[in-house]
Amino acid sequence: MLDLAILGLLFEQEMHGYEIRRRLRDELGLFANISFGSLYPALSKLERAGAVAVTSEGPSGAGSMIPSTGSLSGERAGLRARRAAAPLAASKRSRKVYRITDEGRIRFEQLLAGEEVDDARSFGLRLAFARHLPPTARLALLERRRAQLTRRLATDLARASGERLDIYTRSLVEHSTESTEHDIAWLDRLIDAERQGSSPVRSEPSSDPRHETPQHQTQ
């Protein structure tokens, strides 16, 4: 679902459609080049459903209020218009800034915790917003994905060993098998880290307090 991606981005801060596409491409990397033919209908549908609301003006803070948004989107606006000639006025083009509603937040958490973790995209999207999940659901997501990949690995191995294939198809199947094994090993590392990080309840809080300094920390 594309709805999850939209709501997840709007969960952090309000923005317009083009910006949603840009972030999906540049930051997440998922939905490599999401089409506007998908994005705008999805936004309209979410608006009709009451999950998002449009605040028809106010691109990038515009200096009226909010010092926080100024710092957040500042690095983005900086490289876009680094001339600093007239940063206050900005552009008054036709742009519809979307904002998530309370209903949309509920919908977001429903989608994020949903059971349908079929494809790689859907899983990657959920993982990108996994910080909004409680640790239990986060672990469940990882293990669900791992089980899926294990099933796929079994069929891949059966196909690689049993059939008689030409060299190109065989190489394709073998490479697919290796990739799946690689994915499973990655998931195992994530699962381990998740188990390690959640159960030890900071036994020595004074010794080494969090030298990782995670940037986004929502809870």
Which positions touch DNA (CB under 7 A)? Answer: 1-2, 16-19, 22, 31, 33-38, 40-45, 59, 79-83, 85, 91-97, 118-119
Assess 215 for contact with a second copy (CB under 8 A): yes
Give the three-state DSSP class for 99.
strand
Assess 208 for contact with a second copy (CB under 8 A): no
Q: Which two tokens stand for residue 57?
A: 């003006």
Which residues have a Cβ under 8 Å from the Cβ of 191 and sit 6 or more positions away? 139, 142, 143, 146
Q: Which residue has the tokens 């218009």?
A: 81
Q: Phi and psi for 199 in degrees, rounded to 5? A: -75, -40
| Number of residues near a second copy (by CB under 8 A) | 35
CA distances from 120 to 30, 68, 147, 163 (A): 10, 34, 13, 26
Q: How far apart are CA 42 and CA 25, in angstroms?
A: 17
Spell out, one character per residue from 122 to 141, where the chain touches a second copy: x when CB under 8 A holds, - when not. Answer: --x--xx-xx----------
With CB under 8 A as the contact rule, the residue among 105, 144, 146, 159 that binds a second copy is 159
By beta-carbon proximity to DNA, the closer residue of 100 and 190 is 100
Binding residues vs a second copy (CB under 8 A): 26-29, 124, 127-128, 130-131, 155-156, 159, 163-169, 171-173, 175-176, 178-179, 182-183, 186, 190, 212, 214-217
